[in-house]
Amino acid sequence: MELSWRLRGACRGLDPEIFYAPSEDEGADRAKAVCNTCVVQQQCLEFALANRESEGIWGGATEKERRRILRQRRKTAAA
C-alpha cells in the first residue's frame, strides 16, 4: 500500500496525543482543525477506513464518524 502521503500530513511532527487522546467526539476539535488544513486528508481518511483503524482521529474523522461513514457506504452499495 502506498503510504508516502503520510509524509505530507499536517500532523507531521505534532504531538500524537492531539490525535489519540480524544475519546470519541470529545476533545477532537484540535485534531480536526489540523486535519482540515491537511492536503492529504482524503487519503488519510480512506486509509483509516480501509484498515478499520479503531483509534484516533484520521482524515478529520473520529472512530465513531468513521464507523458511520462505513455504514453509509454499505447502505449505498446495497441500494
Cell of 66: 468513521
DSSP single-letter state for residue 14: S
The only residue of 19, 28, 65, 66 in contact with ligand SF4, by rule CB under 6 A: 19
Report which residue type is found at 41. Answer: Q
By CB under 6 A, residue 9 contacts ligand SF4: yes
Q: Are 5 and 39 in contact (CB under 8 A)?
A: no
At residue 58, the 3 state secondary structure works out as strand
By CB under 6 A, residue 59 contacts ligand SF4: yes
CB of 46 to ligand SF4, least distance (A): 10
Which residues would be at the binding site for ligand SF4 (CB under 6 A)?
A: 9-11, 19, 34-35, 38, 40-41, 44, 57-60
